[in-house]
Structure 1
């Protein structure tokens, strides 16, 4: 199998973390980077010893030197860039959220299927060894019947109104950036929820800065989730079962350790020693899928990604938060919504 040549679009914080962890992947070569700013592209390629630096995204997308493209731009650009990659026949690993909403995601996955191009949402947490361990414990019934999940992703973000997290035009807000992680964890174990409730705080720039989300399933399982851009938190996750519970240590979405505690309070802890932040595991998954000729990862499938986007859409609709270009439901549609919600200005 030839070495897969990777390209990165975007040179921000997440692109830096990804490129930094690339040295730990089992196979693959980091071949190219693109930024709309020449100085950024050149600095990034020098920092990570990347051969090609493009000042235009589409030059990288159409380059014959690249097989797989990692998209690490602000959320609002994911759809257009992923679409261009698919049409150019390039495999795609696109940062989460895959797109702004389920409709966009659905269109791209259909396009990928038609053009037979591999596409995966970069839900890197799914491939973390701790998460794999927790999945195994739950599947083996180590904590009995899994009843509830509590998870949060909170931090204090820059308050600059032009920062991508605070900017409505760039798809800002807590939900799509960090809230997606707790929702992902709940759906990884329980599937798409039957009931969605939330309380949200909308900030001065009209994006959500804090929310608590309660998800429920017909069979009595619950998930209590929190996301914030304005407060600190231990960011641990707890999975409660009928025979014990599992605690994923902070920060649970990139954890190196977890513990299982039984009814008698006996504790078993597991620790994983891996270098970097853990972005290498999603790269290994993409490379594995490509070597096997798959169009999607069985571990974070198109269906998983769409179910995640659908829940985020529902929460956002409940908040009344829409991004530029999105269709807002008419008043008749809103009358059919029996969701409890309230919004406070922060």
Structure 2
């Protein structure tokens, strides 16, 4: 297959990180960018030496110059833009969370299946070499039976109601933005949880700002997970087994080092010397899948994304966080029996 030609929709922080890492990918060509602002599109194209700069998303979606489109805009636009790409026959890598909820994701995957178009949620952490190493060690029994997992992802963001993280109309909140990472890690190793307990703080803008989650599985495993956009966290991940543990140091979601500690006192660290943040690994995965004629990645399947969305739907339903257009089962301050959640009272 000839070189895969990429387009990017959006010019924000994550689009910049992705484009910067694109140069480290072994395959693919970054060909076009689209933004709603001409200045932003032109500046981005110049910064990353991109040939085509477009002011209208649909010019890019319908362009014959690109094969696959990376969607890097606020969560609330993921569904519409991914759908438009699929209908135009364009392959898609859409930033996480793939959509706002499971039903939207299911509809898009059904459409991609019908149209035979490759689609993947941009869970770039899945393709990080340190995560691959953790999977390998667990599969090889290096820590015995994996029993528990702890992971956090949190940072203190200035609480600006207009910022996408705090803006309900843009799909804001800690869960969808950063909570998805520890949930992904837990489900990567254990699958979808059989039970979920959670505590959340919902802020003045009706989105969750801090989540603490305890997942359990009928097979006896537990995961303790934290997500926050108002408090600073060490952002470590620890996988504990019957004969040792694996630790991913802070910013585990983009780790370059992983340590294996065994009960006999032995310790082994592996460092991965890759440039950039590691977005190149998911880019290479998409290119590989396209080269092989696949419509989903065997390493981050549609079922994996649906599992993530279903878990987050359940948590949001419990804490009473809903986005425009979603059905609300009850008033915001209603209590769901058997669950406790803290709730700041709203000033309506």
Determine whether 1:276 maps to 2:307: no
Structure 1 consecutive aligned stretches of length 4 or more whose deviation exceeds 4 Å: none
SS in 1 for 2:200: strand
Match of 1:344 in 2: 343
Determine whether 1:240 maps to 2:218: no
Task: Judge which range, 231-240 or 117-126, deviates more.
Answer: 231-240
Q: State the alpha-carbon separation in 2 of the partners of residues 21 and 158 from structure 1.
A: 27
Q: State the alpha-carbon separation in 2 of the partners of residues 30 and 112 from structure 1.
A: 23
Determine whether 1:133 maps to 2:139: no
Match of 2:161 in 1: 161
With over 3 angstroms needed to count, the CA separation of the structure-2 counterparts of 1:77 and 1:293, relative to structure 1, is same
SS in 2 for 1:345: coil
Q: State the alpha-carbon separation in 1 of the partners of residues 275 and 130 from structure 2.
A: 14
Q: How does 1:304-315 map to 2 (within 5 A)?
A: 304-315=304-315
1:264 CA drift (Å): 2.3
With over 3 angstroms needed to count, the CA separation of the structure-2 counterparts of 1:190 and 1:10, relative to structure 1, is same
Q: How does 1:180-199 map to 2 (within 5 A)?
A: 180-199=180-199
1:339 CA drift (Å): 4.2
Q: State the alpha-carbon separation in 2 of the partners of residues 299 and 308 from structure 1.
A: 14
* 5+ long unaligned stretches in structure 2: none
Q: How does 1:4-23 map to 2 (within 5 A)?
A: 4-23=4-23
RMSD of the TM alignment (CA)?
A: 1.2
Q: Deviations over 1:70-117 (max 9, x none)?
A: 000000000000000000000000000000000000000000000000
Q: State the alpha-carbon separation in 1 of the partners of residues 340 and 67 from structure 2.
A: 45
Match of 1:95 in 2: 95
Q: How does 1:1-346 map to 2 (within 5 A)?
A: 1-329=1-329, 338-345=337-344
Contact in 2 for aligned 1:197/1:339 (Cα 8 Å): no
Q: State the alpha-carbon separation in 1 of the partners of residues 117 and 295 from structure 2.
A: 6
SS in 1 for 2:141: coil
Task: Judge which range, 261-270 or 283-292, deviates more.
Answer: 261-270
SS in 1 for 2:39: helix
Q: Deviations over 1:265-284 (max 9, x none)?
A: 22111100000000000000
Q: TM-score, normalised by structure 1?
A: 0.97
Contact in 2 for aligned 1:196/1:339 (Cα 8 Å): no
May I ask how many residue pairs the two structures share in their alignment?
A: 343
1:158 CA drift (Å): 2.9
Q: State the alpha-carbon separation in 2 of the partners of residues 323 and 153 from structure 1.
A: 22
Q: TM-score, normalised by structure 2?
A: 0.97
